[in-house]
Amino acid sequence: MFAQTEQQFIFFKTWNFIKYYHPDLASGKVNADSLFLANVKGVNTNDDFNSVINKLTSKLNKNFTTPAPIETSKDLMLQNQNFDWFQKNKKISDGNKDLLNNIYKHRYNFENLPKGKLVSDEKEYPFPKTENLPLEYRLLALAKIQGVVDYLFPHKYIMDKGIDEYFSNSLDENSKVNSRKNFEVILAKLVSKFKDSHAFSFYKQLNYKKDIYHMIYLAPFDFQIVDDHILVTHLILPELCSKAQIKVGDKITSINGKSISQIIKEKGELLSTSNREKLVYVLSKYENNLIWPDDLPQKTLELKSAKSNKKVSTKIDMIDTSNKEKYEIIVNYLQDKIKKLESRKITHKDIAYFKINETLGFINNVDDDKIDAEMDSILSSASQKKAIVFDMRAYPDWGGFPYHYIYKYFSPAENYFGKYYKPNLKNIGTFIYKDYDYFPSIPDKTTHNYKGKVFILVNPETRSASEWYSMSLQKIFPQSLTIGQQTSGGDGDLVKVKLPGDYLLEFTGNGIFYPDNSQTQQIGVRINELIKYKDQDILDKKDLEFERVLNDLK
């Protein structure tokens, strides 16, 4: 069986290569998907690599007249583009190597795509939600993911080095798949390899997510993961907890015989996050309900009792999500919890506090021609304070606040705080530095040089645009301290690719770096002080970042 996988792998690699480079396929003159579907089932163990390549290329135009566009840019990300799979492959004939090299030398220039068309556009192939996809459409979905990795994902070079081998194993697994659920497990595992927080949402696309992630039952208590245990933080349904003798402050170390560390590791193989901090953060969210290792309605928990400090084993009855009455209690608790969390802020006479997801309110009821004056007044007032706090632990509700107004009031004229690489349309699979609009053009700009303290608060909720603006603030205020926990590590624009079966794969489409080329993908923004919460801090509902700021001002 594995032999056929080898042929399929070369089929995929060749197909993606001609799909993104051959002028007729890349331009859409020849439909790439149709070429794939017409030939993929004909690939078998009797094929050698050359016959696989011939199946795809025999009917294609090979007389090219337009050479590839000349590369004029000096600053490029080239580390993903690698053609060793054919150029160094002894099983591929010189003739086929020449053919593929010739296609690349006459590759399509995606700058010529019709207006409104994107490189990432893919056709939809809907199937009934419970029906397993026919083999050729499952293979097409896997091939498209491979193409995304090789040609559209800027950070392939920091994915696991064994991604091609892992891909071959997925093909092997796919050949044995007999249900839609099993196929979705393959998809989830493959997408987790992106290690990209933008791709985290993929699990929500799966029709069998409740089974795959064991989301059928809810806990009667709220919790947070700390290191290698789950801390019980609140009893939502006290009578069920009391029956199991579970109290606030108890530390759960295993569920049905599986250690918490083992569960986190297994979940990480099914969910895409850029770093472990983000993974633990999303698993800690009660409303995600992603932490459970199985579907048993009763869980056996090993825990360390908060009261006696002794190790105890207990059984807890979980809540079936279809139990309306109990489900309502949980929903009300969560709504209240989220409301409290969203209302946290610093109120102190010497501090100007800005929360990145609550800035649009400054101008909601202000006439357009008075917005500049209103923002000037707000920032002028902030500049009189001893400290300014930017709370970036959320997604921005108005980019104009950091991009335009903070820059306009406080920044020197130049604010090159990062480097932005976009897909290089002349040579897809490489990425090109863009002299991006890092800051707006403001004629006669004046600068108010702020001498006070500046704090930038971050955590795994600081993602994408929030990470980007945090980098900008770090540059505008060189004296600033960035404090908190590792950020999401998925900065850059979101790209969406449709896969057969009504799945939407989202991922980071740009390379974002600091000006010295240091990495932000997977790592997140630079942090001056990492703040770590202990169990008691969480139980006391502390905001250690706020405490750190207030202590500094004493």
Q: What is the DSSP string of 386-453?
A: SEEEEE-SS--S-THIIIIIIHHHHS-S-----EEEEE-TTSBTBEEE----SS---TT-------SE
Q: What is the pLDDT of residue 3?
A: 53
Q: Taking the model in full, what pTM does it have?
A: 0.96
Q: Of 8, 85, 86, nearest to 47 (Cα)?
A: 8
Instruction: Provide DSSP, 350-361.
Output: TEEEEETTS-GG
From CA 258, how far away is CA 260, in angstroms rounded? 6
Q: What is the pLDDT of residue 2?
A: 45
Give yes or no for a contact between 190 and 170, defined as CB atoms under 8 angstroms apart: yes
pLDDT of residue 554: 85
d(CA 501, CA 527): 41
To which H or E segment does residue 482 belong?
strand 481-484
Collapsing DSSP to helix, strand or coil, 284 comes out as helix
Q: In terms of DSSP H, where are the helices of 162-255?
A: 163-175, 180-192, 209-212, 238-243
Q: How many CB atoms lie within 10 A of CB 307?
A: 10
Q: Which two tokens stand for residue 49?
A: 């690599």
Q: Is the dihedral of CA 179, 183, 184, 186 positive or negative?
A: positive
Buried b (16+ CB within 10 A) or exposed e, 27-48: eeebebbebbbebbeebeeebe
Q: Which residues contact 226 (CB under 8 A, 6 or more apart)?
A: 251, 533, 534, 535, 538
Distance (Å) of CA 181 to CA 124, 131, 184: 20, 9, 5
Structure tokens that stand for 198 in this block: 């933008």
How many CB atoms are located within 10 Å of the residue 68 CB? 17
- Please report, as a single letter, which amino acid is at residue 268: G
According to DSSP H, which parts of 238-367 are helical?
Answer: 238-243, 260-268, 276-284, 324-342
The CA distances from residue 449 to 101, 408, 477, 522, in Å, are: 55, 11, 9, 33
User: 454: which strand partners?
Assistant: 388
Sign of CA pseudo-dihedral 131, 266, 10, 61: positive
- How far does Cα 335 stand from its chain's mean position? 25
Query: From the first residue on, what is the mean pLDDT of each consecutive set of 10 residues in the chain (554 residues)?
Result: 77 98 97 97 92 96 94 94 97 98 98 94 96 96 98 95 89 92 98 98 98 97 97 98 98 98 98 98 98 98 96 97 95 97 95 98 96 97 98 98 98 95 97 91 94 98 98 98 98 97 98 97 98 98 98 92
Those residues whose C-beta lies under 8 Å from the C-beta of residue 338, and which sit 6 or more positions away, are none
